[in-house]
Structure 1
């Protein structure tokens, strides 16, 4: 089939290369996954464990196995009747080590005369004809550290090319440097002065102009060779919002592929839908992830957790400031405006340079910077795709005028250019708004807002606390109708918290008062002086417990610096960070702090496991193409990257899967084997019986505990999942029933059989908090096929 039944994501690295992937193919196939889904394969920076820093578009990374290993893997995949989906990176290249990137090296060596000057997005006039490279350390004598070695300029371990003839007279290294097409500058100048487009604020990832025909051809030749030779059946496009024309790019890529499976990593805000004119099968599933999480959150906990958040946030304000409701909208605006004025100010300044008709004097230019930053801060989605999405621009203008009426005239003057799809500033604005959204929201506001952190996930709106069961069904029906080939996911290499960390944290919505009391006790035992961050950190610890000390310290350092309040990346607060590390280390020692954490974990652990099994079964059986992130068939308690890219122990998983395949029904315990049972049974059914997954029809529950059921019929396969397990434990299922078609049914998880009609939920969910039912008397072979 052109569209897979499911995928299994593998992170390909030097330690887990393409041959290692081939070695686990039998396990992945036995698990029930259809295609394997691989992280980027092109040659990347030396030592890169993610692969998004491509340095050579023409080769499979030797460190990841090289072209022969890809061929071996593809042959084994084809023999198994499976397919391969590969992640590709059209937006940027790695430039951390220039000598490994032939395109970048040539650009540095020959400047604007380089063939590759057209490939990179450089504003040469802004650097007086030179490319600014922010690599120098602090101090006035850093240029004295330069040396000329052969035909290279060296700065410590950094190597840069010399333009021909520029060092032939024996001049000093500083003089030779001044003759180059690039200028080495202090790293702090990147925020305001950088004159090349980056990926977000990463100086070592330079933007590529893939809209140029020859750039597309040369950067995709190897990728398309994989497709045309049948080694790869589908592509996943990383960060299309960074491209000048995502729709045009997808048209060209889809045509070049010949119509293969094509996904985009697109963040959809709220009810935003993919542009209908995009040649893609759908997104990578963050939108689905957030729906799945929220249908398992208790809406009754919102008011109490809102009040707690208001109290905690008030501690960040001057003493005596009353606790007021926290506005997520305001947090987003504050975070985005800070980014536009800070680490991405160079992008805003470049926008102004593209608007000489408005920014025509130094005084006017300063006002234009201000207006552009304000407009970007209020932009409600990642970007528009002019002329599609013009209404989003109008919304941002309206909101900016409300906040800053003094900018009204400037905003009015900017609008004609920014709404014209052919204007360079309009193109650039669309590329910039997504950068600011990602850095200002996901990498800033998410770490400042601690109400219920399971909701602070990639592509999410944390102000949406919960989703009703009816709304959940509506969203699944929409997905099935609009993008049935869209991927769904629960964990990725980019998620802030693994799926089972979120599932446990979501339990706190059922016990908000208990959590508030525990948090108060924890803060008294180990105060940090940053109340919202303490709430966020303790939720991460409880959600992932027991986690190794070094993992928790790594998370705490990254989270606190991303919040950019008590400490920062560029100016770490040693006193705060030392206290934070001491807090984490103290958890490894017996005492009141560890006892308190253990107590709350014991309170929510089993409810979290129930949520996890429900979450997994819902995702694997709902509309879309479900992806299983490597290793997440057992409990996935990772935190933000790089923690979520740790090696996976497939030996343990093989052993457990063999026992399950042999008929074992594991208990719900710390091993996570019960989750493996749910995963393999659902994946196998989805792959082997696609005719059972053709629709999405709600299955209604009746009785006292009806609100604790999420149930739907996919066209033969019926999913039942528990929700709000703490409340359910108090009442039990009692007389709660669901209505099934009047024939015999079998639960593929346990093998139990039931008569149809009105069935007690307590009987259906006697073993696990979930069930996956299939009709057996309409197909006599099914009972044997699905029996454990």
Structure 2
């Protein structure tokens, strides 16, 4: 079957290739994984650590081993009874450097390039210096300074006979029409070539052939001494080091199909769609048939041959029409199923999409996909682990220490405004122009000014409640209409009375179904363009405002600041989690279940530990207040302008978030006097801190790093982790870790078990079968010690238990035995989890709110899942249930729909469990361990 039982995500790069993946197949097979799920395998930029900057989708990445290595991996997987799922990137391509042939062709030929339509470029910019050109914001300094520095030079490629401008790792081709201007300065050696091709006009039918013929002549000429001398003369004509060279170089650059500029100008002047605000990732128009075919040809070939079994679609919200794209992808893959080898034929290829769903938002059911990659599951499960009772104390502490006292929604609104003002200026201007063009197509709206449209659009964009809507050829869905209605109501409150009537008018301009019959002939395509611009701007705006800005400004409790989650929704009840799973079982039973990804903000076990602070909120708040007073002398007062408020580093909210990270990611084995260990930990935290400060965009940013503030914050961190300066604080942290570790471990095991048994396909992010106290990338992409994992998996269960008892549960890798047991059960009875019912169970008694339980049931077979939550006051150091007086709490019972006949065992400990009654004492299920997975013996 193409639908996996369970996947394991691997991050591929030059230091962990497809052949390296071959070496871990046996381990994952023994663990119980059915499919490896790997990061993009098509050719990315050399040195890429993630693979999302694809430059050539027509080949397997040679840095990963190319197609031969892929076939070796697949052969190994198939021999182990496993399959392969790949991550695909239809939305964008890497365009920085010199490696994308399609992009380079566009730079060379401009709008005459055969690929000019493939990238989302506005060739009709209102800026006269950009009309018919592409802005290239790749210069490290201002344009004039770059020319004078000599870093940008005209060069000649002897291998292919083409001239280009070289700038460090970048390559900017010389336009064909400009070549003759260079050749004229090459003396007699190049005279024949220049006279043979006085001009190559891009709009002529044979222009491409003529240009190539000329390049071939130059390539041959470059093999001679005379030719090399002539080329050197030609290059010297625009040498910036020679007298007048800078001016001549500038005039030649002005004749190109692009405009080079300082990288800081990208946000305001960009005239092509980027991936988010990344200026070396260009949006691809995959909605065009020829682009779709070209970018997916290798993917379809791999699927037809049976080499891959499914795909994960990256950033589906970036596409012009996700509905059409997903359905076409489904249609094409399904059509290829019959071509696959007999043993791998499947009428239902597995397709999941990376999609952020806000709380209460439903995934569209008309996309023809199996679901998302699981961010919403991670968010719901994370909320389940938090105690609502701690919210008041945490709120009070945050309001007391934070600079602005703003709520999370306010932080998001402020971030959206800032991003529109600073980071997405070019994209927002393109949208405004597109809507203004629509307004001019009709008599009733022709007088609406572009400035007024900009004001109203601002309020729509900052209050937009979801990542995007999905207008199709059939118009808007009821869900989209409801979203727009809500947006209009929220935006109206922020608009002045003169602009409020325009709000309703503006919404009608996005309607592609109801156009005035007297509108101009181009009304429909202009509206379609405006809709596309709008729907491709809201997703990056939302993502950057929430995940990459507000998450780093709002630090009430960082365990709720995770991709896909809403920190404003602090906790969830057991009933809410059951309802979520029931809905998933009904609509998307094969969606992915994740608790860790390559994009997470902090490791799953960091979040699990920090969640425990919601159960000790008063004590935590008191500790933070004490540390704030204790570390007054560690803070640094920075010089500011006379009229500016005093800036102290770190700010109190940055300080509060730092304390959480120190506690949350603290390694079990690290002691308060371990100087080397503390230094290594401090360096990891410092990398997180730098990224956090820049993402927050308050006192520093990626565009304008504030070295003074960042250095002061680093010094503060180093002081905190210096055992000579902060011995008392460090010992308190060690004591806090010891106090909350059992409940943190219980949370980790609970989220692991629920991921493995809830409706859907569980995913295991590389290495997280051991404790995952990683930080944000690149920390969460460090090399995995597979040898240690293989060794532990090979041990007998009782040997592992003895080790745990000797070393302490907190130092034992408890997740791997749990994962192994659950995956083996899924392997023995796949239908139970793929097709089985999800049956929520009632728990009654003093511990009712601390227990979640359900059955997975299929025909006569069933599995009982039981787990603890909010267990700080319930567990001792051995992870066993205790009462305040030291006794196991009694009178908390699990209600079964009916007694379960036959013998049952707890697969995690191997002990028999009696389920022959309707009421089962929780102490009999969880007395020795915080989770239980109970089934009939195999």
TM-score, length-normalised on structure 1? 0.94
1:376 paired to 2:509: no
Q: How does 1:76-475 map to 2 (within 5 A)?
A: 76-97=76-97, 99-126=98-125, 127-139=130-142, 140-144=144-148, 145=150, 146-150=152-156, 151-166=163-178, 167-169=182-184, 170-171=237-238, 172-258=248-334, 259-313=348-402, 316-317=403-404, 326-357=406-437, 364-386=449-471, 387-388=476-477, 389-406=480-497, 407-420=499-512, 423-475=528-580
Query: Of the candidates 768, 774, 781, which is equivalent to residue 935 of structure 2?
Result: 774
Cα distance per residue 1:552-584 (max 9 Å; x no partner): 111000011111112222222223211221233
Q: How does 1:20-31 map to 2 (within 5 A)?
A: 20-31=20-31
- Matched-pair contact (CA < 8 Å) for 1:6–1:626: yes
In structure 2, C-alpha distance between the alignment counterparts of 1:582 and 1:764, rounded to whole Å: 49
In structure 2, C-alpha distance between the alignment counterparts of 1:660 and 1:168, rounded to whole Å: 76
Could you tell me which runs of 5 or more consecutive residues in structure 1 were left unpaired when the two chains were aligned: 318-322, 777-781, 783-788
In structure 2, C-alpha distance between the alignment counterparts of 1:311 and 1:419, rounded to whole Å: 47
In structure 2, C-alpha distance between the alignment counterparts of 1:80 and 1:659, rounded to whole Å: 21
State the SS of the aligned residue for 2:124: helix
In structure 2, C-alpha distance between the alignment counterparts of 1:557 and 1:672, rounded to whole Å: 32
Closer, same or farther: CA 660–445 of 1 in aligned 2, 3 Å: farther
State the SS of the aligned residue for 2:866: strand
- Matched-pair contact (CA < 8 Å) for 1:510–1:726: yes
Following superposition, the deviation at residue 662 of structure 1 comes to 7.0
State the SS of the aligned residue for 1:628: strand
Query: Of the candidates 628, 631, 649, which is equivalent to residue 523 of structure 1?
Result: 628
In structure 1, C-alpha distance between the alignment counterparts of 2:796 and 2:463, rounded to whole Å: 52
In structure 1, C-alpha distance between the alignment counterparts of 2:392 and 2:809, rounded to whole Å: 32
Q: CA RMSD in A?
A: 1.9
In structure 2, C-alpha distance between the alignment counterparts of 1:364 and 1:600, rounded to whole Å: 60
In structure 2, C-alpha distance between the alignment counterparts of 1:6 and 1:585, rounded to whole Å: 41
In structure 1, C-alpha distance between the alignment counterparts of 2:349 and 2:319, rounded to whole Å: 21
- Matched-pair contact (CA < 8 Å) for 1:358–1:368: no
- Matched-pair contact (CA < 8 Å) for 1:710–1:722: yes
Q: Which moved more, 1:227-236 or 1:298-307?
A: 298-307
- Matched-pair contact (CA < 8 Å) for 1:359–1:368: no
State the SS of the aligned residue for 1:205: strand
Q: Could you tell me which residue of structure 2 aligns to residue 759 of structure 1?
A: 920
Q: How does 1:468-483 map to 2 (within 5 A)?
A: 468-483=573-588
1:512 paired to 2:614: no
Following superposition, the deviation at residue 393 of structure 1 comes to 1.9
Following superposition, the deviation at residue 113 of structure 1 comes to 0.2
State the SS of the aligned residue for 1:725: coil
TM-score, length-normalised on structure 2? 0.80
Cα distance per residue 1:323-365 (max 9 Å; x no partner): 6xx4322221111121112101111100112123467699922
Q: Could you tell me which residue of structure 2 aligns to residue 745 of structure 1?
A: 904
Q: Which moved more, 1:294-303 or 1:732-741?
A: 732-741
- Matched-pair contact (CA < 8 Å) for 1:226–1:232: yes
- Matched-pair contact (CA < 8 Å) for 1:717–1:774: yes
- Matched-pair contact (CA < 8 Å) for 1:417–1:426: no
In structure 1, C-alpha distance between the alignment counterparts of 2:568 and 2:614, rounded to whole Å: 14
Cα distance per residue 1:580-604 (max 9 Å; x no partner): 2123323442123322322322222
Matched residue pairs, number? 767
Could you tell me which runs of 5 or more consecutive residues in structure 2 were left unpaired when the two chains were aligned: 157-162, 185-236, 239-247, 335-347, 441-445, 514-526, 636-648, 668-679, 876-882
In structure 2, C-alpha distance between the alignment counterparts of 1:339 and 1:684, rounded to whole Å: 48
- Matched-pair contact (CA < 8 Å) for 1:418–1:429: no
Closer, same or farther: CA 277–183 of 1 in aligned 2, 3 Å: same
In structure 2, C-alpha distance between the alignment counterparts of 1:529 and 1:458, rounded to whole Å: 25
Q: Could you tell me which residue of structure 2 aligns to residue 67 of structure 1?
A: 67
- Matched-pair contact (CA < 8 Å) for 1:43–1:62: yes
Query: Of the candidates 535, 549, 559, which is equivalent to residue 682 of structure 2?
Result: 549
Q: Which has the larger radius of gyration?
A: 2
Q: Could you tell me which residue of structure 2 aligns to residue 487 of structure 1?
A: 592
Cα distance per residue 1:95-139 (max 9 Å; x no partner): 111x21000000000000001101000011112111001122344
In structure 1, C-alpha distance between the alignment counterparts of 2:266 and 2:729, rounded to whole Å: 42
1:563 paired to 2:696: yes
Closer, same or farther: CA 586–110 of 1 in aligned 2, 3 Å: same
In structure 1, C-alpha distance between the alignment counterparts of 2:438 and 2:108, rounded to whole Å: 35
Cα distance per residue 1:390-439 (max 9 Å; x no partner): 22122212211111134323323321222337621012101110010001
State the SS of the aligned residue for 2:744: helix
Q: How does 1:532-681 map to 2 (within 5 A)?
A: 532-546=653-667, 548-590=681-723, 591-660=727-796, 664-665=800-801, 667=804, 669-681=809-821
- Matched-pair contact (CA < 8 Å) for 1:341–1:373: no
In structure 1, C-alpha distance between the alignment counterparts of 2:89 and 2:797, rounded to whole Å: 38
